[in-house]
């Protein structure tokens, strides 16, 4: 652990009274998120065009008006990819890991180290091409399942090893 991360962890221990310095995911993850959103947008546009061609402009009103609105909303979602990725962060504290995500509706989850049952590193083809990975945490509670996407692969593996060590120490009562 570097000195910066130790200082960040010590400052975060008093959260929420003190300002927390969040560790960020890789900015390259925004490109992966944008790519997936744009691909989904393209599929929606293709479906819309096929429906209009097959029904010869006699498509139901819901399809003629509703689907373009949905496509517009997904395009706006695509545009927000970079901002959404900047909102993802995590902090290693003394007893738990804080995870944050969300733009309008911020969600902050504290995962106690002693509750971690599985820490998994996954990489799809797009993340692998960008040198990134997703760190998945499984706890006893389904509500606290956390995915930390967009970490550099080396950082994800190091964080996984650190979290497994901390989880084993907390479960054994050390």
The model's pLDDT over 47-93, given as tens digits with 9 standing for 90+, comes to 888 888 888 767 777 777 888 888 888 888 888 999 999 999 999 88
Decide if 130 is inside a domain: no
Question: How much is the average pLDDT of 160-174?
Answer: 81
Task: List, as one string, the DSSP characters of 19-45.
Answer: ---PEEPPTHHHHHHHHHHHHHHHHHH
Decide if 6 is inside a domain: no
> Which tokens go with 91?
């902090």
Decide if 101 is inside a domain: no
pLDDT, position 131: 94
Q: Whole-structure pTM over 0.85, yes or no?
A: no
pLDDT, position 144: 61
Strand partners, 134: 122
> Which tokens go with 132?
């990134």
Decide if 1 is inside a domain: no
Calculate helix-pair angle for 28-55, 67-79, nearest 10 degrees.
170
Decide if 140 is inside a domain: no
Decide if 145 is inside a domain: no
Rounded to the nearest 5°, which phi and psi values hold at 150?
Answer: 80, 20
C-alpha separations of 41 from 35, 37, 49, 62, 121 in Å:
10, 6, 12, 18, 28
Query: Structurally, how many domains does the chain consist of?
Result: 1
Decide if 99 is inside a domain: no
- List the end-to-end C-alpha distance of the chain, in Å, as a whole number: 20
Domain that holds residue 55: 30-82
Report how far residue 96's alpha carbon sits from residue 159's, in angstroms, rounded to the nearest whole number: 13
Question: How much is the average pLDDT of 15-23?
Answer: 66
pLDDT of residue 18 exceeding 60, the answer is no
pLDDT of residue 139 exceeding 70, the answer is yes
Decide if 128 is inside a domain: no
CB 51 within 8 A of CB 59: yes
pLDDT of residue 97 exceeding 70, the answer is yes
């Amino acid at each position: 652990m570097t000195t910066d991360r130790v200082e960040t962890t010590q400052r975060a221990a008093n959260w929420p009274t003190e300002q927390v310095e969040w560790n960020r995911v890789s900015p390259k993850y925004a490109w992966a998120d944008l790519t997936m959103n744009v691909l989904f947008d393209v599929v929606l546009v293709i479906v819309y065009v096929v429906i209009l061609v097959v029904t010869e402009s006699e498509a139901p009103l819901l399809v003629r008006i509703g689907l373009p609105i949905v496509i517009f909303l997904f395009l706006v979602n695509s545009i927000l990819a970079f901002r959404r990725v900047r909102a993802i962060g995590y902090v290693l504290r003394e007893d738990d890991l804080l995870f944050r995500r969300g733009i309008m509706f911020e969600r902050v989850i504290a995962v106690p180290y002693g509750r971690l049952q599985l820490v998994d590193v996954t990489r799809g083809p797009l993340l692998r091409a960008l040198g990134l990975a997703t760190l998945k945490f499984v706890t006893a509670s389904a509500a606290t399942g956390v995915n930390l996407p967009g970490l550099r692969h080396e950082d994800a593996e190091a964080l996984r090893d650190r979290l497994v060590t901390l989880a084993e120490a907390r479960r054994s009562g050390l």
